[in-house]
Amino acid sequence: MRRPSLRVLSITTIAAFCVSLSLVFFYAPIEAEEGFLQKIFYLHVPLAIVTLCGFVIGGLCAIAHLRTRDQRWDLRSYVAIHMSLIFGVAVLITGSIWARGSWGHWWVWSEPTLVSFLIIMLLYATYQPLRFAIEDPERQARYASVFAITAGAFVPMNFLAVRLSASYLHPRVLGSSSNLPASMGFTFLVSLVAIALLFATLCSYELAAKRTRILLKARSRILGYQS
């Protein structure tokens, strides 16, 4: 287990979060229209960006897996998608809370990001049932990679389609992130870095845990054969 680098990652992540949270609550100015509620923006939008990147990375690792047939790529693809699913739940919940605070409803169809996310999460929720429905490990990895590639390509196309369909009668509930004043932009970037680091750290832990379990299984099997 590469413990030194995991430790470094964890400490960096915690530091980044301390910096980011102080910036969010003590440095970034209060926005006039939405007031204090706008602070959720620094949590919800970075989470969304990192989650989407996670799904796409899962697809890219799947391509590598199909080309090299190295099971390690399949492991990386699985962990990336699994972690993005967890982060995606957080995106939906924080987005819903934001919608409730600023619009009065727990769900709004006029916010394209939230709607796209719902569809994407519904798709990726089938990833693990698909894997567990196939017993042969080689075929499972292969089929999972096919899914990850298809779904990874679906992510940007879905965003396009939903954004096009968004009703222009309702204003965007959660606002756009263009034309931010510099202080807000800086805070946003730091938050983005913090959440990206969190994603990377948790993925590294999960990868290490899975690799250890695989090694363990192999050794106990050898032990079983020897007796």
Partner 1 sequence: MLRALLRKELLVELRTLESIPGMSLFAVTTFVVFHFALNQDTVSGQEAAGILWVTLLFAAMLGINRLFVADADQGGFDGFLLAPVERTALLIAKATALLAYLLVLELIAVPAFGLLLLGPPLGQALPGLLAPLALGDIGVAAIGTLVAALAVRTRARDLLGPLLALPLLVPIVIGCARASAPLLYATRPGGPPLRWLGTLALYDLVFGLIAYAVFDFLLED
Partner 2 sequence: MNPLATTLPEHSNDGYVAAAYIVFFAIVLIYVAIMAVRLGRVERKVRDLSAQEREKERETV
* Contact residues for partner 1, defined by CB under 8 A: 66, 119-120, 122-123, 126, 129-130, 133-136, 138-139, 142-143, 145-147, 149-151, 153-154, 157-158, 160-162, 164-165
Tokens of residue 107, six digits: 């769900």
d(CA 12, CA 5): 10
CA 159 to chain centre: 15
The item of partner 1, partner 2, none sharing an interface with residue 22, based on CB under 5 to 8 Å by kind, is: none
Q: Find which of partner 1, partner 2, none residue 68 binds, CB within 5 to 8 Å per kind.
A: none
Q: How many CB atoms lie within 10 A of CB 223?
A: 9
Q: How far apart are CA 46 and CA 17, in angstroms?
A: 12
Give the SS3 label for residue 208.
helix
Q: Which is nearer to partner 1, 33 or 136 (CB)?
A: 136
Which residue bears the tokens 């192999």? 218
Q: Could you tell me the smallest distance in angstroms from the CB atom of residue 212 to partner 2?
A: 6
CB of 91 to partner 1, least distance (A): 16
Q: Which is nearer to partner 2, 63 or 208 (CB)?
A: 208
- We find the least distance from the C-beta atom of residue 65 to partner 1, in angstroms, to be 10
Of 13, 11, 3, 40, the residue nearest 196 (C-alpha)? 13
| Among positions 3, 26, 32, 104, the unique one binding partner 2 when judged by CB under 8 A | 32
219 binds partner 2 (CB under 8 A): yes
Q: How far is the CB of 60 from partner 1 (least distance, A)?
A: 14
Residue 187 CA to residue 42 CA, distance in Å, equals 8
Nearer to partner 1, 1 or 146 (CB): 146
Cβ atoms within 10 Å of 155's Cβ, excluding its own: 22
The answer to whether residues 47 and 87 touch, using CB atoms and an 8 Å cutoff, is yes
How far is the CA of 167 from the CAs of 9, 36, 114, 172, in angstroms?
42, 27, 14, 9
By the rule CB under 8 A, 212 interacts with partner 2 = yes
Q: Which amino acid is at 136?
A: D
32 touches, from partner 1, partner 2, none (C-beta below 5 to 8 Å by class): partner 2
- Does residue 131 belong to the site contacting partner 2 (CB under 8 A)? no
Write out the residues near partner 2 by the rule CB under 8 A: 29-40, 43-44, 47, 86, 89-90, 93-94, 97-98, 100-101, 175-176, 179-181, 198, 202, 205-206, 209, 212-213, 216, 219-220, 223, 226-227
